[in-house]
Chains A and B, each alone.
Chain A
Amino acid sequence: MLSTDENRAEEFRTSRGRLADAGRESTLQAVEDLARRVRLSDLDMIGRAGLGHIGGDFSVIDILATLYGAVLKVDPSRPGDPERDRLILSKGHSAGALYSTLAHCGFFPLAELETFAQPLSALNGHPNRTKVPGVETNTGPLGHGFPVAVGCALAAKLQGSARRTFVVLGDGELQEGSNWEAAMTASHYSLASLTAIVDRNRLQQGARTEETKQLEPLADKWSSFGWEVRQIDGHDYGEVLSSLDPSSTGRPVCVIANTIKGKGVPFMEDRVEWHHKVPNAEQIMAAREELSA
């Protein structure tokens, strides 16, 4: 198990404490800054490792940065705190985005990112909770994270705890039937503390979701399963932040975050080949410039 970067963890706590009293603009600015740093680290990781899923990483990073930067009640120094909020990344192939986010928050040293996908590294191509603090369950095969998140929320309800559970789902992943089993269970048990966020980038590994197996009308599907649905621009930090407010209906909340695969690097954006294509040295330089601008 990797250990906490205590300096960065202290920065994380200080920053979150300060933002709690600061205005919304400062919060959004901090989230945007975190997202920029996470994208740059992820780009380096993938370039160095020669593998990764950069397209889906970049579509979900603004969501993860908002969660860790402004919403989740977590402490990188106490990743096993029973009362922590839970975040489960069901689209486990975006491990790079999660690792990079966790490292910038101090869950483990940033330098560890250099080991990504190297022999015996804790940072496998898909996240492992027994090695990486902050990871709640081992994901990778799709359709697994959501039922686990339902169990987390059920446990909180049984214990009378106010802690919240968030699960981030890929949109293509919703073709797995287990998600809809979980969606039914969550609404049956009125798990208002559970928020499912769909990274709706409209692309999956081989083609567009709607050409592969149609998901639309997606919001209607969630509504009919008994969920409170919020549709947002998944790259607008203000919209993402507001969408993560607790349920107002007593029902579980589904945020359909409309996103762009490869967001932030124009030549990668909304292009199916960047699902797991690895940028070459020249492309990394170009991407760096875009992200640093």
Chain B
Amino acid sequence: MTQEQAVQAPTYDCRKAFAEELIALAREDERIVAVCNDSVGSSNLTHFRKEFPDRLINVGIAEQDLVGVGAGLANGGMIPFVSAAAPFLTGRALEQIKADVAYSRARVVLCGQSPGMAYGELGPTHHSIEDLSWLRAVADLPIVVPADPNETRAALRWAATNGGPSYLRIGRHPVPALDGSEGPFVFGRSTEVRHGDSATVIAVGTMVSRALEAAELLGGEGVDLRVINMSTIEPLDAEAVLRAADETGAIVTAEEATTTGGLGAAVATLLAQSRPVPMRILGVPRQFAPTGSTDFLLDHFGLTANGIADAARSVLRHARA
């Protein structure tokens, strides 16, 4: 490995892209407001507040109120970006998300900040690994998990104009920028970030760049891994999943979330009924994480390039057996 290759690619906290894009959108459209729960700092909204002091609504530490107020602002013609740490937004206010936002079809953009195990040592109370399972169970609620800063910006822009409710998972754990050659984020459409025909890894958020690393690891073994970034989890890009099953015959999913009902469950439900192919589902099993940093916990649960490569080897053995 050369010196240049050993240098790590720069990584980004997607909350910065979130904050910058929200300001850009707010300059273009005066209906855009930010609503937060004492989360001005953790949602990176300090600059937004400085430029638009009246359009930053802080309801204090009160998530049920937070989401309800967002729905009311939408009713009143505003476009609220309701932003809070993902565990509290989705856990504490789940019924408000269901009744006031999704069922009422309120144009509220729910922004779950620092999802997954981004809060590492703060522990399972502060982890948001259940959000994808919970929210996939709610009808009429699109779920978008951007994988890098560019996707974060594009997802915000889509959400501002989509006319209905949405949930965006805004990552805090640093991720590299993806090569945008496969085109920009399009809602409801996945991107094939690496072509390949041996097996497919379908990943979201922090797992996309790790899946690409796994593909590099497997290259020397004659395995040509396809990597799909499924930034929209609901509605799932079924066409891309079925094509991957047909063309590669083996699927691995990877997400920084419980395996009970997120991406893996969505893909498995589709494949089991339409194209049953061998599959491995990577994520956090149904258990509370032990103490540790985000990186430690991702290692602990096998959510690494090596873990993904192992799952790919395993699913390929299964497919060839």
Inter-chain contact B64/A148, CB cutoff 8 Å: no
- Determine the chain B residues whose CB is within 8 A of the CB of A177 once the complex forms: 64
Enumerate B83-106 residues with CB–CB distance to A below 8 Å: 95-96, 99-100, 103-106
Inter-chain contact B74/A151, CB cutoff 8 Å: yes
Main secondary structure on B side of the interface with A: helix
Q: How far is the CA of A178 from the CA of B94 in the complex (A)?
A: 13
- Determine the chain A residues whose CB is within 8 A of the CB of B74 once the complex forms: 151
Choice from A141, A148, A185 contacting B60 with Cβ under 8 Å: A185
Task: Give the size of the chain A interface in residues (CB under 8 angstroms).
Answer: 34
* Nearest Cβ on chain B to A81's Cβ, whole angstroms: 11
Inter-chain contact B99/A154, CB cutoff 8 Å: no
Binds A, one of B51-59, B142-150, B298-306, B310-318: B51-59
Question: Is A24 engaged at the interface, CB distance under 8 Å to the other chain?
Answer: no
Choice from A128, A130, A136, A147 contacting B67 with Cβ under 8 Å: A147
- Determine the chain A residues whose CB is within 8 A of the CB of B78 once the complex forms: 155, 158
Task: Give the size of the chain B interface in residues (CB under 8 angstroms).
Answer: 31
- Chain B residue at minimum C-beta to C-beta distance from A83: B77
Question: Is B183 engaged at the interface, CB distance under 8 Å to the other chain?
Answer: no
Render A78-90 as a binary contact track against B, CB cut-off 8 A, 1 for contact. 0000100010000
Choice from A130, A139, A153, A159 contacting B77 with Cβ under 8 Å: A159
- Determine the chain A residues whose CB is within 8 A of the CB of B69 once the complex forms: 147-148, 150-151, 154, 182, 185
Q: Assess A144 versus B55: contact at CB under 8 Å? Given A137-B71, A150-B68, A182-B65.
A: no
Question: Is A190 engaged at the interface, CB distance under 8 Å to the other chain?
Answer: no
Inter-chain contact A144/B54, CB cutoff 8 Å: no
Question: Is B203 engaged at the interface, CB distance under 8 Å to the other chain?
Answer: no
- Chain B residue at minimum C-beta to C-beta distance from A135: B104
- Determine the chain B residues whose CB is within 8 A of the CB of A184 once the complex forms: 60, 62, 65
Most buried by B among A181, A182, A184: A181
Question: Is B70 engaged at the interface, CB distance under 8 Å to the other chain?
Answer: yes
- Chain A residue at minimum C-beta to C-beta distance from B78: A155
Question: Is B75 engaged at the interface, CB distance under 8 Å to the other chain?
Answer: yes
Q: Assess A150 versus B72: contact at CB under 8 Å? Given A137-B106, A184-B62, A185-B60.
A: yes
* Nearest Cβ on chain B to A161's Cβ, whole angstroms: 8
Question: Is B73 engaged at the interface, CB distance under 8 Å to the other chain?
Answer: yes
Choice from B57, B60, B67 contacting A154 with Cβ under 8 Å: B57
Inter-chain contact B72/A144, CB cutoff 8 Å: no
Question: Is B33 engaged at the interface, CB distance under 8 Å to the other chain?
Answer: yes
Q: Assess A144 versus B68: contact at CB under 8 Å? Given A139-B99, A181-B62.
A: yes
Q: How far is the CA of A128 from the CA of B99 in the complex (A)?
A: 10
- Determine the chain B residues whose CB is within 8 A of the CB of A136 once the complex forms: 75
Q: How far is the CA of A140 from the CA of B99 in the complex (A)?
A: 8
* Nearest Cβ on chain A to B284's Cβ, whole angstroms: 29
Most buried by B among A130, A137, A151, A153: A151
Q: Assess A181 versus B77: contact at CB under 8 Å? Given A144-B96, A151-B70.
A: no
* Nearest Cβ on chain B to A169's Cβ, whole angstroms: 13
* Nearest Cβ on chain B to A122's Cβ, whole angstroms: 14
- Chain A residue at minimum C-beta to C-beta distance from B140: A130
- Determine the chain B residues whose CB is within 8 A of the CB of A140 once the complex forms: 99
Inter-chain contact B65/A181, CB cutoff 8 Å: yes
Q: How far is the CA of A177 from the CA of B61 in the complex (A)?
A: 13
Question: Is B41 engaged at the interface, CB distance under 8 Å to the other chain?
Answer: no
Inter-chain contact A138/B76, CB cutoff 8 Å: no
Q: Assess A152 versus B76: contact at CB under 8 Å? Given A141-B99, A147-B65, A158-B54.
A: yes
Q: Assess A147 versus B104: contact at CB under 8 Å? Given A185-B59, A185-B62.
A: no
Q: How far is the CA of A78 from the CA of B60 in the complex (A)?
A: 35
Enumerate A240-257 residues with CB–CB distance to B below 8 Å: none
Choice from A130, A144, A153 contacting B99 with Cβ under 8 Å: A144
Q: How far is the CA of A86 from the CA of B77 in the complex (A)?
A: 12
Q: How far is the CA of A11 from the CA of B100 in the complex (A)?
A: 32
- Chain B residue at minimum C-beta to C-beta distance from A139: B99
Sampled A-B contacts (29; CB under 8 Å): A82-B77, A130-B104, A137-B72, A137-B75, A137-B106, A138-B99, A138-B104, A140-B99, A143-B64, A144-B95, A147-B71, A148-B72, A148-B75, A149-B72, A150-B65, A150-B68, A150-B69, A150-B72, A151-B72, A151-B76, A155-B72, A155-B75, A158-B33, A158-B76, A178-B62, A181-B64, A182-B65, A182-B68, A185-B59
**Chain A to chain B: the 5 pairs with minimum beta-carbon distance, closest first:** A151-B72, A155-B76, A147-B68, A181-B65, A181-B62
